[in-house]
Structure 1
Amino acid sequence: MAEHTEVDESPLTFNGPLHRSRLLQHGNYAASDGFPYLWKWKQGRGSLPSKLIVDGEEGECEDVYCRVVGTVSPDDRLFLEPHGNFNPAFETPIMAKSKLQFTLTKPSDPDFGQDYTLAYRRLEAVQDAIAHGPDRSWFLNDGTMRFSFPLWEKKIEGNNGPEETALTEHYTVRDDLMDEKRKTQENHQICIMRVSRWKQNKLIEPAQFASTMTGALVEVTFVLRHYFYKERQGSKVSKDTNSYTAQVHEIIILNSAPPRVRTPFQNRRVGGAISVSQSPKKTPSKETTPSRGEQVAAANAFGPQTPTREKRKRTDDEPAASTPSKKGKEKEVRLTIFHVQV
């Protein structure tokens, strides 16, 4: 298990063009050429959701671990504190159902902005492939993507060992929520969302999620689920509803949020009086950050060549993907899925 660490800025300079060129080689990156040929929906039975799985895996249910890159919105229902979206003021608050939630928006980054737009269109097509009727909710909305991570899971034989129990015992929430947490952990174990910085093999503490992720450029790996609620007379469902859940598997912080710029005329109080803050003298930097042009050149020289996107969509009668044998494909897909840091 990766070690937890306090917030620590990475000393490495993030090379966006090189990281992007590598992501484009993986079919689970939603902006890659291989993504439209990777997936299919496996219909859920009864109350179980439908799952997005790897196409061609007959008899198996290999999840597609989709990947996208975007900016964590600071304004759109951000629930990244240790207690997630739990609110004791609710009519029937249930901590066991609480989740971490956040929204991605299109990044201003020149390397990933265009990919975000393409990924959004691709994921719209994924939704359309299983939807019943025009309604879509919870995942894609007006150019944004909504993600969640369940904080609790019911205790079963496979997750009730000493390590999981100790992790749950030491997990901290606000003082006023500790009694509710003690009740919840009697039958549930805590789940920790995997969040790390680019090129660092240490997990960020849950208490630091909000401060490190807000406004940052992040790579999110997730699985997708679809729930369909049929309109029924006399029930709460007033129309056919398609609900999509993007459940986080892992997050990599590629670039921290840019610092807030203080203007030269920013007022501050000094000794009870209002004065104009003075800009400190700049000290020469010891290290020079490579320009974007230099990063692009490095990506072209040392990174894999980015394939040209095919401007066509897969049709129903077209082969799912040009892959080798089932065994070979399974190996290839799993390598792609778990290659989360490049």
Structure 2
Amino acid sequence: MVFMYSNHLASKGFEVTICFDCQNMLKKYHLPTFARKIGSQILVRHRPNWFDLDSRVEKHCIFGINEATMPDSDHVVATWVGSARPVAALSAAKGIKHYFIQGYETWGTSAGEVEDTYRLGMSNIVVSDWLADIVERASGTEPHKVKNPIDGDVFYPTGEERRDHAVAVLYHPGEHKGFSDALAALKLARERVPDLEVNIFGGPMRPDWLPEWCHYTCNASQDQLRSIYSRSSVFLCATINEGFALTCPEAMFCGCALVSTDFQGVHEYADAECALLSPVHDPESLSINLVRLLLDPSEARRIATLGNKRAREECSLPRALSAMEREFAHR
């Protein structure tokens, strides 16, 4: 989302700089500090390699968020809970302060500490209705809501053959993403659907423990993602706690039927009418819903059609871009 909005604002004449805080980058290699800094600068210069970032968007490799590392600007945006306090502490020379809240980031941080960041006096921007409720209750101020959009020029059915027994899944090591539950559901489903095709994609290298019957794409490009979604009948999501889960509506835009846990963020673009929802931490229920659609292609297509319509209504790109422009239009 940060990259997408940066591209749009740059196209509208805004001068945009993304500051990558690299103070923890490459630490696992136990390199000297100067070597880590050089390596981090090289990585930032050549990344992201999975997203077409506009060349007009500047990238800065910084080590810590403070007066010395951050450029003077009209606006400055904290993009996750760990950056909220350092950004809020910056002087007025660094710009009007905004806080882009994409989830209730309680993984690794207590709920009280997370909610404290909503009261730092920044302009809070949230991506969903349920986050808006939490932020307003914690801060006493109504946040600006800019629901996450999906770019229909990037995510659409490619026309390649959609396989009735194929399912797409995101791998993410974060416990809140619930991948262990997704894998358990897939193993159960495979007992009923022996020719199950599992198309997994993720940022990390393929985990050693992933079963050999799972196809895996590391750092999938947008073209690869579109293809994975378009040849899969179902997208499976086992998220436990997430503000939105962008891959779900991406897959719905590409024609997948959604089988998901009933986490809060999913209701931003789906309900029981256009998706099959299961309780959180219930792999057996997930597998039952998954098998139901895999063995009934006409029902999968019906759910996919309803889901596609709903996702396109709720995740409007023009609406979100206009709202973000308004957020940064005033100095």
Into which bin does the TM-score normalised by the smaller protein fall? under 0.3
Greater relative contact order (Cα 8 A, min sep 6): structure 1 or 2?
1
Bigger helix fraction? 2
Q: TM-score, normalised to structure 1's length?
A: 0.22
Q: TM-score, normalised to structure 2's length?
A: 0.22
Bigger strand fraction? 1
